[in-house]
Chain A
Amino acid sequence: MLFAEITYALTGIGLFALGLRGSLLRRSLLGRIIGFNVCGAGVFMLFVAIAYRGPEQVPDALPHALVLTGIVVAVSATALALALGRRLRESEHE
């Protein structure tokens, strides 16, 4: 089932590129935030794919643990970006 692993890895690379494009080129803040989340999802997908060790084998646990940490970081970063975005809007209304 090497096919599955390659599919995951290629999807991951595709998402990374898509997210990169979105977070660089989007004008709206929300679009950019979603962009870097998609970009991050791509990298996490890559980690999921490299944990695969063969059809009868237990997958490598370390990359999965790394993805969990990565998700926590991505959530915190998104929260900070949204909080800053809200501040920016409040300063517009003043």
Chain B
Amino acid sequence: MNSLPVWPIMLPLGAALLAVIWPRRSAWIGIAASLATLTAVGLLMAQVASRGTLVHALGGWEPGLGIALRADALAVALLLMSSLVALAAGWYATGYFRDANRQSQFWPVWLLMLAALHAMLLSADLFNIYVTLELLGLSAVALAALGGGRAAIEAALRYLTVGLLGSLAFLAGVAVMYTRYGTLDMLALAALIEPGPASWLALSLMTAGLLVKSALFPLHFWLPPAHANAPAPVSAALSALVVKAAVYLMMRLWLDLFAPILGPASAWLLGLLGAAAVLWGSWSALRAQRLKLLAAYSTVAQLGYLFIFFPLLAALPPGPARDTAFGALVLMALTHGFAKSALFLAAGMIQQHAGHDRIEELGGTARALPVTTFTFALAGVALIGLPPSGAFLAKWQLLSSAIALGQWLWVPVVAAGSLMAAAYVFRVLGFAFGPSNGVMQKLADGREGLPALLLAIVATAVLGLGAAAVWHFVAPGALLTEAQR
């Protein structure tokens, strides 16, 4: 079955259309499509694990004229995360949107976002990546505006304008690449790529666009309002998946396509910005008054860690040490995806139950919402990077690579970021275990909190204890450049 890479895109896309046609059945269609997508991704993963990277030429048109889909270990690992998070957040959304009208507005855009995300992960063509980047951006903006309030719409508009400028910069970079190399197929480009002003210009333009989209400090300003004002299932997907997609493209460009021609010096800039993001994001999360704003600033910080890996990977020669560090980067990204979506869903539960999400007035939450409070703590374990979470192993690997390479700067940054993460998680838990203020007295039904709890367990236990499998799957033969070695 060579057409397997098509299904993770076509299933949500088709279901989005069905959800428009049958608005009253949209929740059922959405859940069924999410389950089917997860199954397709599972099959794809099994194929990639046994046979290696799959390439599929859409419609039988060979790359050059047609568009190729390429499923390698990195893409499939992120696909699995996205379909699991989407299933859990969608399951939660069936209870979150009480009104049938809201359900029918949510599902088509949600499924479109999923289709765009999966198409981006599987694209092996720079222009196709631009198109999926725009589709993802547009559907994400529509979802972010779903909250309906004035603040949500303002945040969505800023998100839209900033995102559009980001993708236009990316497109300008694509134009430069085409002028220089005459092809946009990434496999062909990997064989042709060479140092020179055109390559640097193209990489700078595409990087500038992606840094805006991945909200790397100091271009993160649009993220906290957009993520904090969206409905909880949407915030979960925006923070866990949509920003991660831009980081994935940065990994593709910096660690894969352009890796052979990049010196270690240029990646230092990304690392320094990442370090600033860790410090500033964690500090802002610590000072946040609202729970969802805390979660959004924590995303800014957690994305920073991913960028600290870039100078380390650039300094490591191809080989087992680089593969190990690369596996740690993927593990960090996956852990954050599960932990942050769990955190946002938990925050949504608290907000719906208490009627607000002001951190200092959350007394009694632990008694009224025991499952949700437990979820929040578990997700917090993964965000801080305590064992047995995946983030613990990833940070451990980050620190040992930094020490081995003599890049000492990152050690205090990671330590300070982790300490501040512990402080902002325990600050919330401290208030949650405090005395009730009257609102939070009734014990809530625990079943509603189940999707979030499962996500948090994946982040904290499954990814930590099963980390060897992730490393084994992702590290060898994951990349475009592998074909040339």
Q: List A residues at the B interface (Cβ < 8 Å).
A: 16, 20, 23-24, 29, 32-33, 36, 39-40, 43, 46-47, 50, 62-63, 66, 69-70, 73, 76-77, 80-81, 84-85, 87-88, 91-92
Contacts and interface: CB of A to CB of B under 8 A. Distances in A.
A77 B160 contact: yes
Chain B interface size range: 20 to 34
B43 interface: no
A93 to B, nearest CB: 11
Contacts, number: 68
A43 B170 CA distance: 10
Given A66-B127, A84-B153, A40 B168 contact: yes
Nearest to A62: B178
Q: Does more than half of chain B's interface fall in helix, strand or loop, or is it mixed?
A: helix
Contacts of A91: 149-150, 153
A9 to B, nearest CB: 9
Contacts of A47: 175
B285 to A, nearest CB: 27
Contacts of A81: 157, 160-161
Contacts of B154: 88
A70 B130 CA distance: 9
Given A63-B178, A84-B156, A91-B150, A76 B161 contact: no
Nearest to B139: A80
B157 A50 contact: no
A85 B179 CA distance: 37
A50 B182 CA distance: 10
Given A50-B175, A84-B157, A88-B153, A39 B145 contact: no
B141 interface: yes
B171 interface: yes
Given A47-B175, A88-B153, A36 B164 contact: yes
A20 B165 contact: yes
A4 to B, nearest CB: 16
Interface of B: 127, 131, 134, 138, 141-142, 145, 149-150, 153-154, 156-157, 160-161, 164-165, 168, 171-172, 174-175, 178-179
A28 to B, nearest CB: 12
Contact of B172 (A29, A43, A63): A43
Q: Does more than half of chain A's interface fall in helix, strand or loop, or is it mixed?
A: helix
Nearest to A46: B175
A87 B161 CA distance: 16
A88 B131 contact: no
Given A32-B161, A50-B179, A88-B157, A16 B138 contact: no
A40 B166 CA distance: 11
Contacts of A40: 164, 168
A33 B179 CA distance: 28
A66 B178 CA distance: 11
8 contacts: A20-B165, A24-B165, A36-B164, A77-B138, A80-B138, A84-B153, A88-B150, A88-B157
A36 B168 contact: yes
Given A43-B172, A88-B153, A88-B154, A80 B165 contact: no
A91 B151 CA distance: 10
A38 B245 CA distance: 27
